[in-house]
Chains A and B, each alone.
Chain A
C-alpha cells in the first residue's frame, strides 16, 4: 500500500510513466503472457511490474526507445517469473513450462563470440550488467530498482564481470 503513496517527483517523470503505459503496455503483456499463459496472472504480473517502476521512476528518464523497451519488457518478464514461481509452489497446474518459453526470447544464435559468452550468463547477471554498463546506472540506483542493497548489487555485478572474464579467457578471446 505504501508503494501507492510514493510520490512521483515531477511532471517529467509522470510523463515517462504515461508514455510507458501508452507505448509499451502491450509489449509488457506479451512478455508476461509468454510465461504465464493466463490472462489474470499476466495482468497481475504487469501491474506488479508497473508498481515497481513507479518506485524508481526517476531513473527511467532520458532513456532511448530500445533501452526503455528492453527495460519494461525485462521488468514484465521478471514480474511474470515471480508469479510463475508462486503458482508452481502452490502446485497449481500450469499450461506450459513458462520459463522455457521465456528463454527463447532471451537467447539467440550469434557468431559474435563475446555476445555468446554474455548469453551464457544467467538472465539476472545479464540484466545487472546491462543496467550498469549500457544504462550507466549507479549501484544504488540498480539496488533501488531491484529492491536490493547497494552492496548486494555491487557484488552481483562484480561476480558477473568475473564470470564473463573467465569464460572469455577459456575461449581465448
Chain B
C-alpha cells in the first residue's frame, strides 16, 4: 500500500472516530468546570514555575499581614487610635465630634470669655441653651473670635478649621488640640476638655500662643 493511500485511509479513520465521538453530557460539562481552574494553574506553573511560586508566597504573606493588621487594629488601643487619627487627618470632614463622656449635666452658663479677649474685641452675641454657650466677639477690623462651651451631658459636633495643621498642646493640666490654619482667611482654633468632660473651643485670628494664654485664664 502506498503512502498516499495509507494516509488517506488513516485520516478517514481518524475523522470518523472524531465524528462518532458523542457530545459531552451536562455532567461532563460540570466536571470540566470544576477541573478547568486546576488545569489553568498547571499551565501557569509549567510556563513559569518561579513566577507561579512567587505569586503564591506573596499572596500568603499579604493574607498573613492583613490578618495580623486587623487583629492589631481591633485589639490594640494605640494602633486603633493611630489608624483612626490617620484616617481623620487624611479623609476627615473637618468636624470634631464631641461625644458625651460622663453623662453628667453640668451648668456651663457661668463660663465666658468676656474680660479675657484681646483689646479691641467686643461681645457681639451670646447664646445659651441646654447644650452649652456660644459667644461671638468682633473687633474693629471685623475679625471674629468665637468661644464655645459644651455640656458633657450632650453629644455635639464642632467644626474645626479646614486646611490646617494640628498641634498638640496643654491648657493647664489638660491636653488640647490646636489647629493652625494654612489659609490666611481662616483663624486658628484650640479645643480641650476638662476633668468633667466639658468641651471648650476658642477660635479666632490669634496665634497658637495667644489662644493658649486665653484658654489658661478660664476658670
Contacts and interface: CB of A to CB of B under 8 A. Distances in A.
Interface of A: 3-8, 14, 17-18, 21-22, 25-27, 29-31, 33, 39, 42-43, 46-47, 50-51, 54, 66-67, 69-70, 73, 105-106, 108, 110, 112, 114-115, 118-119, 126, 129-130, 133-134, 161, 164-165, 168, 173
9 contacts: A4-B45, A22-B36, A29-B24, A29-B35, A69-B18, A70-B14, A112-B9, A164-B1, A164-B6
A139 to B, nearest CB: 16
Contact of A25 (B9, B11, B35): B35
A129 B31 contact: no
Contacts of B16: 108, 110, 115
Interface string B1-17: 10101110111111111
A18 B25 contact: no
Contact of A14 (B11, B13, B23, B43): B43
Q: Which 9 A-B pairs have the closest CB atoms?
A: A26-B24, A114-B9, A26-B32, A25-B32, A30-B24, A8-B47, A29-B28, A133-B7, A30-B28
Contacts of A18: 40, 43
Contacts of A3: 46
Contact of B49 (A5, A66, A164): A5
B29 interface: yes
A70 B18 contact: yes
Classify the interface of chain B: helix, strand, loop or mixed: helix
B158 interface: no
Nearest to A13: B47
B21 A73 contact: yes
A147 to B, nearest CB: 17
Contacts of A46: 35
Nearest to A117: B9
A165 B36 contact: no
B20 interface: yes
Given A25-B35, A105-B20, A33 B42 contact: no
B31 A29 contact: yes
A118 to B, nearest CB: 5
A51 B13 contact: no
A72 to B, nearest CB: 10
B78 interface: no
A46 B31 CA distance: 11
B40 A26 contact: no
A83 B15 CA distance: 26
A30 B21 contact: yes
B13 A115 contact: yes
A74 B20 CA distance: 13
B8 to A, nearest CB: 8
Given A66-B14, A105-B17, A115-B13, A25 B46 contact: no
Given A47-B35, A119-B13, A8 B46 contact: yes
A173 B10 CA distance: 16
A22 B17 CA distance: 21
Contact of A130 (B13, B31, B42): B13
Contacts of A6: 46
A120 B8 CA distance: 17
Nearest to B25: A30
B9 A21 contact: no
